[in-house]
């Protein structure tokens, strides 16, 4: 069985690594022949909207999936006409547009921050008046890792934010004074079986995920998050892994966004859960039984951003698992991560503190 993966970044690389024990083979599509996926499987080199390259990939594989959500919807339609393609194109389409995403959450009864679509400076002024300050202005599409957003704290921020972002459709969101951020990763198989991982607590800086701590034991929030995830999975007749990120404010979950793919906040599952998110994504799209999503201890995942740490010093820590994606260093680029797994939360926290001291910031 050959799986085609659109995108050959670290998520694709980790999907392929998870698939080898299941006797799966992989082909990637990516514009760069030096992407992390190249270390583990051949790459069809081409842009994501290059019809000839897409057809070539389709011709070489049995099933197609994707590892990042900025794949053009038209490209995925092209693929879906030739080969089974998961997660569904419609989930990709909705996840690419923050307004469509929030409208869907609203229809499914999933709370979101208050928001307004912004296409003109007048919309922005009216939105600020309606939502109040502070608020967050974001591009509707193609934003990731905090790119394309501005926090508006005072009236004088409105003009510069419009200057910086106003050339594309925007969304203005009320600023959520959250206590923490959590996410849930879950899988639905093409046969309709679903499994959820425990919710995890995420820390971001400059809009980029820095640390995930897993599991977050809170039975009430877990039930609520699973309910929200199931509604989205069922809405799309989904197959694959889906992630929803939430703010927790006043003990309530407020949805920020969803990703129709394996997710950075699920990397801890490679060593910290019985079955990793990567293996479960593959099982889900192939209609295989899903694997146990229980944690095997207490885990923390730390991203290596911009610079790699000294590998040997990381490996000297108990329960540390080092992942180097093989990417050239660049500011704000995710180059790798480390997951620590320990028998107790206190032991995990002690190793995490040591790990953070060994990672350049
Ligand atoms: P996003 O690109 O939407 O995932 O935003 C990146 C990060 O910015 C989030 O993880 C939050 O830490 C912060 N953020 C985004 N939207 C809001 C909001 N409406 N209120 C408060 N913080 C936000």
Per-residue model confidence (pLDDT) at position 59: 96
Closest residue (by CA) to atom 7 of ligand 1? Answer: 207
| pLDDT number for residue 68 | 86
pLDDT value at position 250? 96
pLDDT of residue 144: 61
| pTM greater than 0.85 (yes/no) | yes
Atom of ligand 1 nearest to the CA of 113: 19
Return the closest-CA partner of residue 131 out of 171, 180, 164, 104: 171
pLDDT of residue 360: 85
In DSSP terms, 64 is beta-bridged to 4, 85
Ligand 1 centroid, distance to 10 Cα (angstroms)? 23
Residue 206 Cα to ligand 1 middle (Å) = 9
Residue 262 CA to residue 259 CA, distance in Å, equals: 8
Does the beta carbon of 101 sit less than 6 angstroms from any atom of ligand 1? Answer: no
Assess contact for 295 and 272: CB atoms under 8 A. yes
| pLDDT for the residue 305 | 97
Given this model, what pLDDT does residue 146 score?
A: 62
Task: Report the C-alpha gap between 187 and 282 in whole angstroms.
Answer: 10
Instruction: Give whole-number Cα distances, 208 to 197, 302, 305, 356, in Å.
Output: 22, 11, 9, 16
The CB of 210 under 6 Å from ligand 1? The reply is no
Question: Domains in the chain, ordered, with CATH?
Answer: 2-85 (3.40.50.20), 114-174 (3.30.1490.20), 180-357 (3.30.470.20)
Q: Strand, helix or coil at 331?
A: coil
List the chain residues with pLDDT less than 50.
none
Assigned token pair, 13: 């690389």
């Amino acid at each position: 069985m050959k799986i085609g993966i659109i995108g050959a970044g670290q998520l694709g690389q980790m999907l392929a690594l998870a698939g080898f024990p299941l006797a799966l083979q992989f082909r990637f599509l990516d514009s760069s022949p030096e992407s992390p996926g190249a270390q583990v499987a051949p790459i069809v080199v081409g842009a994501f909207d290059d019809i000839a390259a897409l057809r070539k990939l389709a011709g070489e594989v049995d099933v197609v999936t994707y590892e990042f959500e900025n794949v053009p919807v038209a490209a995925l339609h092209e693929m879906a006409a030739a080969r089974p393609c998961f997660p569904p194109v419609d989930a990709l389409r909705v996840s690419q547009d923050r307004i469509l995403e929030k409208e869907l959450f609203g229809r499914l009864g999933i709370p979101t921050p208050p928001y307004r679509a912004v296409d003109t400076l007048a919309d922005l002024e009216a939105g600020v008046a309606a939502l109040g300050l502070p608020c967050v202005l974001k591009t509707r599409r193609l934003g990731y890792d905090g790119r394309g957003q501005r926090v508006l704290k005072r009236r004088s921020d409105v003009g510069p934010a419009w200057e910086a972002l106003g050339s594309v459709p925007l969304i203005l969101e009320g600023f959520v004074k959250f206590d923490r951020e959590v996410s849930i990763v879950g899988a639905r198989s093409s046969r309709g079986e679903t499994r959820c991982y425990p919710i995890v607590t995420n820390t971001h800086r400059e809009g980029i995920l820095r640390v995930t701590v897993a599991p977050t034991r809170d039975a009430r929030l877990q039930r609520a998050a699973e309910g929200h995830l199931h509604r989205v999975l069922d809405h799309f007749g989904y197959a694959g892994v889906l992630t929803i990120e939430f703010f927790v404010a006043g003990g309530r979950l407020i949805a920020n966004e969803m990703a129709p793919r394996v997710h950075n906040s699920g990397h801890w599952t490679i060593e910290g859960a019985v079955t990793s998110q990567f293996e479960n994504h593959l099982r889900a799209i192939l209609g295989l039984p899903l694997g146990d999503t229980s944690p095997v201890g207490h885990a923390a995942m730390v991203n290596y951003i911009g610079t790699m740490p000294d590998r040997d010093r990381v490996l000297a820590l108990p329960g540390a698992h080092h992942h180097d994606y093989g990417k050239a260093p660049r500011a704000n680029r995710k180059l790798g991560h480390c997951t620590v797994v320990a028998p107790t939360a206190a032991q995990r926290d002690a190793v995490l503190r040591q790990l953070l001291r060994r990672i350049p910031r």
